[in-house]
Amino acid sequence: MGVYTPTLRRRARPNGRFEVMTWYLMRVSGVVLLFVAVGHLLWLHLVVGLENIDFNTIVGRWTGPLGAFWRVYDLVLLMFAMTHGLNGARWVIDDYVPRRGPNWAMKSVVFTLGFILILMGAFIIFTFRPAGT
């Protein structure tokens, strides 16, 4: 009987606190997303109703008496979803792109696009004003 040798390259054990912190980030953001994303879906699908969701629904939500709450809620959803997804993308890139140069290049593109999308989303959430107000 021969010695078992795995065909996939094993990932080096993380050295330092960064990997541990990103591991915790995934767990915490996953739990927060469970509540925030499910709450978002339940509110819009069951309370508001799918047939009633349109541009005016979001305008009313952000400009109504609870507008500040809904804007912060949407920002929390955006931030946790994007950081959770970007960290997952970082892990996938590390697993499938072992060479340092292409790995760094792919992560740079992904994180730059993610940062731009977060900024765009936050900008829209906090500066959006419907026409005529």
How far are the Cα atoms of 17, 90, 133 from residue 120, in angstroms, in the given order? 30, 21, 21
Instruction: For residue 63, give the CATH number of its domain.
Output: 1.20.1300
Furthest-apart CA pair in the chain: how many Å? 79
pTM for the model:
0.80
Domain assignment of residue 92, yes or no: yes
Per-residue pLDDT of the chain (133 residues; tens, 9 = 90+): 555 555 555 555 556 788 889 889 899 999 999 999 999 999 999 999 989 888 888 888 888 899 999 999 999 999 999 999 999 999 999 999 999 999 999 999 999 999 999 999 999 998 988 776 6
Does any domain span residue 27? yes
CA dist 70 and 75 (Å) reads 8
pLDDT score, position 42:
94
By residue range, what is the domain housing residue 104?
17-127
Is 12 contained in some domain?
A: no
Confirm whether 3 is domain-assigned: no
Query: Per the domain annotation, does 132 fall within a domain?
Result: no
Instruction: State the total domains in the chain.
Output: 1
